Amino acid sequence: MTSQVSVSVAKNAASTKILAKVPPPAFSQATHRARCLAQLRSKHNGLEKYIYLNGLKDRDPTLFYTLVYDHMRESLVFSHLHPHEL
């Protein structure tokens, strides 16, 4: 019985490793920008936006600067004005 359990655990571990190596789906640049902008817009306060943008800058600096430049008002995370007041 013990050998059956260890074989089952080993099979589950092996299948988990295989799933972890599957690459993410390939998106076009436009689709990737739109998804990142949607993520940015889903953040409710400046700190959440800052954390998201900081991570994006580490992962993909080109996309970060494109997103910030194209959507400057939305990406001003520590502004004292609300975006609708700008």
Helices 46-59 and 61-70: crossing angle, nearest 10°? 140
CATH number at residue 56: 1.20.1370.30
| Structural domain count, the chain | 1
Nearest Cα neighbor of 40 from 86, 75, 9, 11 is 75
| pLDDT at residue 35, as a whole number | 92
Q: Is pTM beyond 0.95 here? A: no
Cβ within 8 Å of residue 83, ≥6 positions away? 73, 74, 76
**pLDDT > 80? residue 12:** no
Write the pLDDT tens digit of every residue in 37-62.
Answer: 999 999 988 889 989 999 999 999 99
pLDDT-derived band at 19 (thresholds 50, 70, 90) equals: low
Nearest Cα neighbor of 32 from 6, 64, 4, 9 is 64
Domain assignment of residue 10, given as a range? 2-85
pLDDT-derived band at 85 (thresholds 50, 70, 90) equals: very low
